[in-house]
């Protein structure tokens, strides 16, 4: 039997606001679905969601979920391989711990780490494979695991793992041999839908918070496309996707929505694509289908999109009519000089028009910015402040301010030093020498945003406490304090033990 493991959630204890974001492991759910479709025996262990309120302090981190010995106890006697999902960078210490403890308990069972290629919070395993090998991992599988899962599983199930170094499997990294991932899933519509029935999804729902703003009792993430065609230097996607963007058809997406509604009673969907609106025509077709089929769904672009790809503002009208309730965009910086350093283009005037339109349509909007990019100066941050002020005036509902951190696989990874564990590479990198200065600016800008919002959109600001109390969140800024409150309570409980 192949055992798929989702690692524990990791929270940096001094910042429960920007760390500890809960992502349902959609990539692992796709891999499980592919294995099951081929009739291969498997079991899923979600080390976080099977006991999400169990906590353990580990230095500056809080580890949520099953203890290592509980994961080991859940391994069936007929386990032939354990595949651990490298879901994101912050969870690295938990992933590493699972590798070492499972390998110590079962030294003859292959332990393999799977790469997450469809999240900006993930990391390139080929860049950090040696750390996993040192912990006892037998291999790292890079690239889209669905494309390689069946062949890898058959190798493990046949008892032929000892011959793995003689076999060329695209994307499989071994201690003495690294095969570069070059292949991609050709037609995403041919993949089976994620096998959520194998995961404790009720436990995710009971948390009452998620990555996107959660307004309903139940939700599911969607991947409507894969990859991103852009080359932002702070992002891992150019390394893991090589600027290839591939869409699912609108028909296939709608069928998944209908299936989720019928099977799980889910009518809220959080789109977790790297860049879902690259094809405006596809988005319009998706909206038309949702309207034609009279699907009463809400969907939110939670992970962000490049707003310039929505060229026609009437597309936003269509999206609102089809149930779109939230769109996150990423200006990143108000400084054109810093944007050039990042390798990113941003059309500010178009974004302002789009935010103004979303405000009128009732689509909640988020604008994300990064601080401390290499080469950024004080004057550049003041330009960001001015941009935030203008977007707030036009109706942007929330902002997110991240202090840049080097992601393994990104173009700027080698430009930083001073961190310990890779789990410290989050959006609150307190190890940076300039962290205090950057964080003071971040706090100042958040306060200014609230003052500006009170001035220009007081009704929106006054609504937020009521949504907080009802746990019906329209924005992440409404939801994150609730999440931080939960983590603080769990941290205090762990301290008393």
**Arithmetic mean of pLDDT, 298-319:** 97
Q: How confident is the model at residue 415 (pLDDT cuts 50, 70, 90)?
A: very high
- The CATH code that applies to domain 210-493 is 3.80.30.20
Tens-place pLDDT, residues 348-400: 999 999 999 999 999 999 999 999 999 999 999 999 999 999 999 999 999 99
Q: Is 67 exposed, middle or buried (0-12, 13-18, 19+ CB in 10 A)?
A: middle
Q: What percent of the chain has pLDDT over 70?
A: 100
> How much is the pLDDT for 168?
86
Judge if 2-178 and 210-493 fold alike in CATH terms.
Answer: no
> How much is the pLDDT for 165?
86
Calculated CA dihedral for residues 242, 276, 202, 87, nearest 10 degrees = 20
The CATH-assigned architecture of domain 2-178 is 3-Layer(aba) Sandwich (3.40)
> How much is the pLDDT for 274?
98
* pLDDT exceeds 80 at position 72: yes
Alpha helices in 136-273, H assignment, sequence order: 145-157, 201-206, 237-241, 250-264
**Arithmetic mean of pLDDT, 231-246:** 96
Contact 243, 228 (CB under 8 A): yes
Q: How confident is the model at residue 200 (pLDDT cuts 50, 70, 90)?
A: very high
Q: In 3-state terms, what secondary structure has residue 422?
A: helix
Structural domain boundaries in the chain: 2-178, 210-493
Distances (CA, A) of 131 to 11, 93, 127, 494: 21, 11, 9, 28
With 0.85 as the threshold, say if the pTM is over it.
yes
Which residue bears the tokens 């977007």?
Answer: 391
> How much is the pLDDT for 179?
87
Alpha helices in 293-423, H assignment, sequence order: 314-321, 336-342, 348-361, 378-394
Sign of CA dihedral 270, 276, 282, 288: positive
* pLDDT exceeds 80 at position 241: yes
* pLDDT exceeds 80 at position 119: yes
Please give the angle made by the CA atoms of 90, 96 and 99, to the nearest 5 degrees: 145
């Amino acid at each position: 039997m192949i055992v798929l493991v989702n690692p524990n959630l990791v929270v940096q204890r001094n910042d429960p606001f920007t760390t500890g974001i809960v992502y349902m492991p959609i990539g692992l759910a796709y891999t499980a679905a592919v294995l099951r479709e081929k009739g291969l025996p498997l079991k899923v262990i979600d080390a976080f969601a099977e006991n999400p309120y169990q906590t353990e302090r580990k230095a500056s981190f809080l580890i949520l979920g099953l203890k290592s010995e509980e994961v080991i106890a859940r391994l069936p006697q007929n386990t032939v391989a354990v595949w651990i999902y490298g879901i994101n960078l912050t969870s690295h210490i938990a992933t590493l711990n699972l590798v070492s403890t499972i390998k110590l308990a079962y030294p003859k069972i292959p332990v393999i780490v799977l790469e997450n290629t469809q999240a900006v919070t993930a990391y390139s395993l080929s860049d950090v494979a040696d750390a996993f090998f040192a912990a006892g991992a037998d291999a790292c599988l890079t690239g889209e695991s669905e494309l390689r899962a069946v062949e890898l599983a058959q190798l493990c199930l046949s008892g032929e793992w000892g011959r793995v170094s003689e076999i060329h499997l695209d994307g499989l990294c071994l201690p003495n041999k690294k095969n570069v991932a070059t292949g991609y899933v050709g037609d995403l519509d041919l993949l089976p839908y994620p096998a959520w029935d194998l995961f404790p999804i009720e436990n995710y729902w009971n948390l009452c918070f998620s990555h996107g703003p959660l307004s309903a009792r139940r939700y599911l993430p969607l991947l409507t496309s894969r990859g991103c065609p852009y080359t932002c230097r702070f992002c891992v996607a150019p390394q893991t996707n090589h600027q290839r963007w591939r869409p699912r058809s609108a028909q296939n997406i709608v069928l998944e929505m209908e299936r989720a509604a019928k099977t799980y009673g889910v009518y809220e969907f959080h789109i977790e694509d790297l860049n879902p609106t690259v094809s405006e025509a596809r988005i319009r077709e998706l909206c038309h289908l949702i309207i034609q089929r009279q699907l009463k769904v809400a969907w939110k672009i939670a992970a962000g999109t490049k707003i310039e790809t929505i060229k026609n503002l009437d597309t936003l009208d269509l999206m609102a009519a089809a149930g779109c309730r939230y769109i996150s965009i990423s200006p990143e910086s108000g400084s054109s000089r810093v944007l050039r350093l990042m390798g990113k283009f941003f059309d500010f005037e178009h974004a302002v028009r789009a935010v103004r339109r979303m405000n009128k349509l009732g689509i909640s909007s988020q604008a994300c910015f990064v601080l401390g990019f290499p080469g950024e100066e004080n004057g550049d941050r003041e330009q960001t402040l001015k941009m935030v002020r203008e977007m707030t005036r036009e109706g942007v509902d929330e902002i997110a301010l991240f202090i840049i951190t080097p992601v393994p696989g990104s173009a700027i990874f080698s430009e930083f030093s001073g961190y310990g564990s890779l789990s410290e590479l989050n959006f609150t990198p307190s190890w940076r020498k300039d962290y205090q200065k950057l964080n003071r600016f971040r706090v100042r800008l958040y306060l200014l945003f609230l003052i500006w919002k009170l001035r220009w959109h007081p009704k929106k600001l006054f609504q937020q406490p009521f949504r907080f109390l009802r746990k019906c969140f329209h924005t992440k800024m409404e939801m994150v304090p609730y999440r931080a409150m939960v983590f603080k309570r769990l941290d205090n409980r762990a301290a008393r033990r």
